[in-house]
Amino acid sequence: MRNPMAMNIINPGQSLLKKKPFSSSTMAPLTLDPDPPDIPSQIFSVISTHPKTWQKHPSILKLIPSISPSHVTSLYNLNLTPQIALDFSFWISQKPGFKHTVQSYAALLNLLITNNFVKASEKVVIFMFKSCYAVEDIRFVLDFLKIISGRNCEFKFMLSVRCYNTLLMSLSKFLLIDEMKSVYREMLEKMVPPNIYTFNTMVNGYCKVGNVVEAELYVSKIVQAGMSPDTFTYTSLILGHCRNKDVARAYRVFRLMPQKGCRRNEVSYTNLVHGLCEVKRLDEAIELFKKMREDDCWPTVRTYTVIICGLCGQGRKVEALKIFDEMLEKGCQPNVHTYTVLIDCLSKENKLNEARKLLSGMLEKGLVPSVVTYNALIDGYCKEGLMEAALEILGVMESNKCSPNARTYNELICGFCKMKNVHKAMALLNKLLERQLTPNLITYNTLIHGQCSVGHLDSAYRLLHLMKESGLVPDQYTYSVFIDSLCKRGRVEEASVLFDSLKDKGIKANEVIYTALIDGYCKAGKIDNAHALLERMLIDDCLPNAFTYNALIDGMCKEKQVQEALLLLKKMVKVGVNPSVETYTILIEEVLKEGDFDHANRLLDQLAFSGLRPDVFTYTAFIHAYCSIGNVKAAEDLMVKMSEEEIVPDLVTYTLLIRAYANLGLIYSAFDVLKRMSDAGCEPSHHTYAL
């Protein structure tokens, strides 16, 4: 019979809600899902009336698909015998789709411990530790252990060294290092002698967070206890040093291992290879990777993935794919992470067909792509404006029961906004909300930028209001979009009012915001306001950049203040801001309008002396000037120079030259330029043909 004391034990799922957590962190409430009251009762009834044959009873078999861990927890709190509870626990755990939770194990332990089922309790405790899939689970377990250890009952349950080691490993998995230290101290207090597994778990836990100093204290405890550090110990130390990006010390431990009689294994190599990749010493990582076989070690899927990830991170896609092929040849099957790294790399390099083939290969092999895998490909399509393909991947994702997350929708929203299809982007916001996902700052900022880019400022302001209502705080980017959009539409006074309100909103204006308003003032011909704002910018310790000066120089040139603009160029260089190609091109274009070719060429020399290369706009400014005075030979010479420098003329460049020949009556020459234009893949416009 069951011990009557068991009847007085509080349901663990309830009792823990009233207790303080083991650590200083607050445990999330772990309430049981509301159950249909009849399922545990039905199971109990069948077991009670058919104690020998309940496993095959039709009523039980019918209930199997409906039985949840919370039903099992409720069942254990009924008047079951410990042995039947154990039998049921094992039986239900074998059924497809069922997984015990820490709560169901805790309820079973309540029953077993109260009835002095010591051996069984130890096994169940270990199962409970291993079933921790989240931090909340492990915190629940710690609190449950605290309750049963403090309980005043006939039988006391003591954790064995094996139980403690399993608990420490679970804590290490979630990087709960303080809790590990507390459990270790508890072991010592309860006179449970640590073994090599205990010490190694402590060493590994500290090394995972880069605390090698503390880890080495536990290494010394191994020696003090008359044991020797082993491969796992040294491999953990390699990991710790690599986490601190101290590859030199990691190498020292790596070289020490054979001297200490410890064989280096695949993990030892992989940890060091990963450390080298992290500090951008990729070629050394590859050399070490190649030497593994000399040490009778064979790269694992993680080793290959680390190397592939390192190569992709440095843009060495061809080498990454070669390693991937080698991996397949050696019979090492890539996992989801391997494929995801490659798909992400290929998508970023616009090799979308190759990325798509890899996704198909994954699915053919029965691998289940993660949301990260799908997002990488969706993002690649969105960046190229291939929205139909992106939506197709979304469809594949959903058909494979992989739920899109907020990032998925953000990528799609961004793609549609770039294509100026804000209606579709807004429809995706609605879908995001329907899925009970939470739009974040990126979501709203992208949509606001999209609405502003098509001139829908009222819609953008409504989104701003919605954003605030949802508890999100607009940031510098949000307001920079509004100020820039207002300025571009000539509403510079509104932009100025919004700018002045930023301080009260707790937003410090950055160089993007200042530059947008300075550009707005310049385009409105308010050069004095722009200069005043530049001075205010400097007072606010916000450093202007090349874009800021370019906006002001361009504005001054349009107001025929060329000499003042040239002085500003000198000031710009003096304060340490490097002029860009655009800076020089603005000034070159303006002095050429005045017919000052000598000054323009001096500026071109200055541009080259600064280490910059003229672009198509720079050369087009010169070609325009030469064509306007009928000097087509000089213009053609520049076309040759552009070709030598691999600068591709654009529609404007060709059209200027065609017009110049047409104005001179040189029709055949004009048609020759038109042919060159067509051969270069530059599509003439109706303006070109009208010439």
Q: What is the pLDDT of residue 148?
A: 83
How many angstroms separate the CA atoms of 329 and 357, rounded? 18
Q: What is the DSSP letter of 9?
A: P
Q: What angle do CA 567, 573, 574 make, to 5 degrees?
A: 85
**H/E stretch holding 675:** helix 667-679
User: Which pLDDT score, from 0 to 100, does residue 153 have?
Assistant: 56
| Domain residue spans of the chain | 1-157, 545-602, 615-691
Give per-10-residue mean pLDDT for the chain (691 aa). 36 38 35 59 89 89 91 89 92 92 93 89 94 94 87 72 96 97 95 97 97 97 96 98 96 96 96 96 96 93 97 94 95 96 95 96 94 97 97 96 96 97 97 95 97 96 95 96 96 96 94 97 96 95 95 95 95 94 96 94 94 95 95 94 93 92 91 90 74 58
The phi, psi pair for 484, rounded to 5°, reads: -65, -45
Answer positive or negative: Cα dihedral of 382, 388, 394, 400. negative
Residues 559-613 have pLDDT tens digits of 999 999 999 999 999 999 999 999 999 999 999 999 999 999 999 999 999 999 9
- Cβ atoms of residues 257 and 297 within 8 Å: no
Distance CA 650, CA 420 (A): 24
For residue 205 the two structure tokens come to 């836990």
What is the per-residue pLDDT for 691?
A: 58
Buried b (16+ CB within 10 A) or exposed e, 215-240: beebbebbeeeeeebbbbbbbbbbbb
Contact 15, 32 (CB under 8 A): no
